[in-house]
Every structure is written in C-alpha cells, then in structure tokens.
Amino acid sequence: MEGSEEYQPGRPEIIPIEQDTILFYGKPLIVVRLPDERPAVVVRSLCDNMQLDRRGQFRRIQRTEAIADDLIPNVSITTESGPQKGYVLVLRSVAYWLATIDAKRVREEIRPDVIRYQKEAVDALYIWAQTPRALPSPRTDLIPAESPAKPVPPQLDAPQDDWIVYHQQMLQWHQWRQDMQSWKAQTDTKLEQVEQRQDDMEVRMESMEAITDLIPEILERLGPETLTPQHQHQHQVQTLAKQLHQATDKPYPTIYDGLRTAFQKPRYQDILEDEWPQVEQWFKVQIERARKAK
C-alpha cells in the first residue's frame, strides 16, 4: 500500500508482535498487538465489512481530537499477497469512533450492519484482546521434560573412570535444575504479565461499556446535521445566493437574512441538512420571480 493514504513516507514501519483474524458475523476482522502490547484493529477491515468509505472514516477519526492519536499508520500487515502497510486504530478508541457514525445517514441496506458493529463489535474485539497468548514450553531438545535421577556416587575405592562418569552425570543433573528454574522464572513472569493485561483489559472493557451505553445520548447531543462549512450544501447555498444576487441585485446579507427568516433559524448555517430540498426550492422560486419581473 505504499503511495496510498495508508502509507506515510518518512515515518517508521511498525511491526506488530501479534496478528490474528477473528470472524464477526462471518466477516474477518484483522487484529494486531503493537510492540507496546496495545491491541488494535485494522481500520480497512472494519470499513470494508460495514461498506463504509475508508477515506471518509480516516478523516472522521483524524478530526476527532480525543482519538486522533490512536490512529497508527505504517503498520505492517501480513496478507495473502505479502506484507502491506495500513492504518490500525487502538482498541480503546474503537467504541468512540463507532459512536460518531450516524446510522440514520448511511444507506438503508447497510444500516443493520453499522448498528450491529456499534453494539457488539467492541465486545468481540476485547474478548480476543484478553485471550492469553500461548506460554513458552520448556525446550525439550535442551531440557528433559522429566527430572533425571540424581546420580549415586561410586564406592570410594571405585576406578577413576567411574568417578569421571559420576561427576559428568552430576554436572548434567545440576544443569537440568538450573535450566528448569530459569524456565519457571520466565513462565511466572509471563503469567504475571498476562494477569496484569487481563486486569487492564477488564478496566478498559468497563470504560468501553460505559461509552457504548452513552452512544444514544452522544448521537442525541450531536443533533441533526446542519449546513456546516464542511458540507457541500453550504457551498451550494453560496452559489445559489450569487445567482439570486445577480438576478435581483439584492445585497448578500439581505438574501441570507431572507433565507434564515423563511426557515425560522437564527442563522442560515443552522438550517438542517434534511431541509436541503426546501432550500433549493426557495432559491428557485426567488430567482424565477426575479427573472419574470424583468
């Protein structure tokens, strides 16, 4: 993916310490664990499964200050065609991002999938993140699985060769004990790390559940979408206002004042996106009246 928006030249490549694929309602989600052990999900797989435009979702995440830093580029992802670089989103931010997607504004045929992901995908991802990775087993080629019997010393008057064999066996026995103690210490350390990670995940799960419960309230607070500067319709309003100005010679402030008055808004920017057809009709009527008057 070099040369695409998912690859940023000049930034280091990040190689995950773990990559896996989980199935969510029969569709694959690619998940990774970053070098700092944070779990993350490949954004491309989420967007493809929900049939959402990736570029639009990248921009949505990047302009959301609370989660923008958790969108990580240049992560090496293993695919059937070889390693590729892509964006991943740290798991703690996935619920927040999904909550910003207004299911009412997506296509009717994909709306059930979007709602399903908003309600259930984070739980599935955290179940994967909390699953302990396999602990290392003793190297059976180097450490015998069973304890060797402690050698029995020969008689004091035994031949020198017997004593040599005895000391060689004792050396092997002590080496086995040392190797097993070292392996046990490593295993105990990894178990402690797994338990700590599980505790951390449980805390994050509780936080994510709290955020998920707030999704309806967040969407309600966001309210209906208006003609903000980021939307194409506001630019179209300005184009129509120019046409009306040319047709009537009315000053732009007068035109905008008439528009907001017609729709009973404090500012014309507060007109709802859903009212756009009525806005177009209002301009059409005004322009036609002006042309007939001439």
Q: Judge whether 155 lies within some domain.
A: no
Which range in 8-12, 77-81, 215-219, 270-274 is most confidently predicted, on average pLDDT?
Answer: 77-81
pLDDT band at 211 (very low <50, low <70, confident <90, very high): low
Structure token pair of residue 131:
């699953």
Domain C-terminal end among 100, 130, 160: 130
Q: Judge whether 101 lies within some domain.
A: yes
Q: Judge whether 214 lies within some domain.
A: no
Per-residue pLDDT at 289 exceeds 50: yes
Per-residue pLDDT at 210 exceeds 50: yes
Q: Judge whether 141 lies within some domain.
A: no
Domain C-terminal end among 93, 109, 130: 130
Instruction: Count how many domains the chain has.
Output: 2
Residue 96: other Cβ atoms inside 10 A = 21
Q: Judge whether 240 lies within some domain.
A: yes
At residue 141, the pLDDT reads 47
Q: At what angle do helices 160-213 and 215-222 cross, to 10 degrees?
A: 40
Per-residue pLDDT at 218 exceeds 80: no
At residue 182, the pLDDT reads 80
What is the rounded CA–CA span in Å between residue 278 and residue 284?
A: 10
Per-residue pLDDT at 239 exceeds 50: yes
Q: Judge whether 23 lies within some domain.
A: yes
| Phi, psi values for residue 110, rounded to 5° | -105, -5
Domain C-terminal end among 89, 107, 130: 130
Buried b vs exposed e over 200-231: b needs ≥16 C-beta within 10 Å? ebeebbeebeebbeebeeebeeeeeebbeeee
Q: At what angle do helices 252-262 and 232-248 cross, to 10 degrees?
A: 120
Residue 252: other Cβ atoms inside 10 A = 12
At residue 32, the pLDDT reads 93
Residues in CB range of 288: below 8 A, 6 or more apart: none
**Structural domain of residue 264, as residue ranges?**
232-293
Cβ proximity of 89 and 57 under 8 Å: no
Positive/negative CA dihedral, 187, 189, 190, 196: positive
Q: Judge whether 188 lies within some domain.
A: no
Q: Judge whether 67 lies within some domain.
A: yes
Averaged pLDDT, 135-162: 68
Averaged pLDDT, 178-186: 80
Strands (E), the chain: 18-24, 27-33, 39-42, 71-79, 82-90
Residues in CB range of 218: below 8 A, 6 or more apart: 99, 100
Looking at residue 34, the DSSP 8-state letter turns out to be: -
The pTM for the full model equals 0.48
At residue 150, the pLDDT reads 82
